Amino acid sequence: MALPYKWQWRIDKWKSTVRGFFGGGDEQPRPKLCPACGTLVGIGATRCHQCGANLRFSMAAITKQVSGIFGDHAAPATTALLIANILMFAVSWMAIAAQGGGGGTSILWNMGGTTSYRLGASYGPAIFYGNEWWRLVTAMFLHGGLLHIGFNMMALMQFGPALEELYGSARYLFIYVVTGAFGFLLSAKMGNFSLGASGAILGLVGVMLAVTSKRGGSYMREVRSRLISSVVILFVLGFSGVMGMDNSAHFGGLVAGFGLGKLFADRQPMNGAEQKQAYALGWIAFLVLVASFVMMFLHYRDPLPGQ
């Protein structure tokens, strides 16, 4: 059966990207764009004549290759975050199933506290007294059930691509990680056991509120009004206690996102210096993610609190 054109294009893109990592690439050599500043450079050039960036080994070049795996046109960082959340949900379910749980309708809203704790849920005593700071990051990739991850991933795909296009993938990833971690920091300070991507998603909402506050016009006012209404409803539901929402994580993510939205210029990087700064922020966020998951797996079998 022939694949749809979109998927055939994506597979060809993946093959080209993988070949690029091992020194391959397109069969016909052609001029290329500097990944740092966008200047057109020659076929055999290894360094940009405009900004001096290394076209093969710079952070910009590596980031370009990595983002190509997910498709340059399709919000690669948002796609990667979506995949990571789904994979961690699958890991959580398999871990519970290995212990004889996860059956029936429990997968809808109850994935098990013990497994979630071992996989890096946010918990104040473990963070502040056990120095398990990676939980501030790993917790945003864990969810309590299918309903939980379903609502969060729908919200991620609603807000993520537009903001990634606005800020660029590198700064967008930095915003996502920082706002999510700040939300769980506040949540842990309040003594909550918490998990989920909603703190980071509220961070994206906070960024959008900051953007609309910096731009005039009736459309921006309408978007801002809708966002504020949605946030108010979310916090009212959280205070009602009906759905077990973590208002502390939501508030922390929202405030952090609003602050970063005010700090960052709401546009793509415009020159080589801004590109380098953006890629540095993106790689810091990526390395923090990797380090956090490594620490989580290294400590997976540590004794539970009280044991």
Which residues are the active-site residues? 198, 250
Q: Which amino acid is at 150?
A: G
Q: Coil, strand, or helix at residue 148?
A: helix
Q: Three-state DSSP class for 45?
A: coil
DSSP single-letter state for residue 110: -
How far is the C-alpha of 158 from the C-alpha of 165, rounded, in Å?
A: 13
Cβ-based neighbour number of residue 225 at 10 Å: 11
Cβ atoms of 200 and 180 within 8 Å: the answer is yes
**Rounded Cα gap, residues 180 and 168, in angstroms:** 18
Backbone angles phi, psi at 74, to 5 degrees: -120, 40
| Phi, psi angle pair for 138, to nearest 5° | -65, -30
Letter for the amino acid at 206?
A: G
Start-to-end CA distance of the chain, whole Å, equals 55
Query: 159: Cβ–Cβ under 8 A, 6 or more apart, which residues?
Result: 201, 204, 205, 208
Q: Dmax over Cα atoms in the chain, in whole Å?
A: 64
- Residue 32's DSSP bridge partners are 41
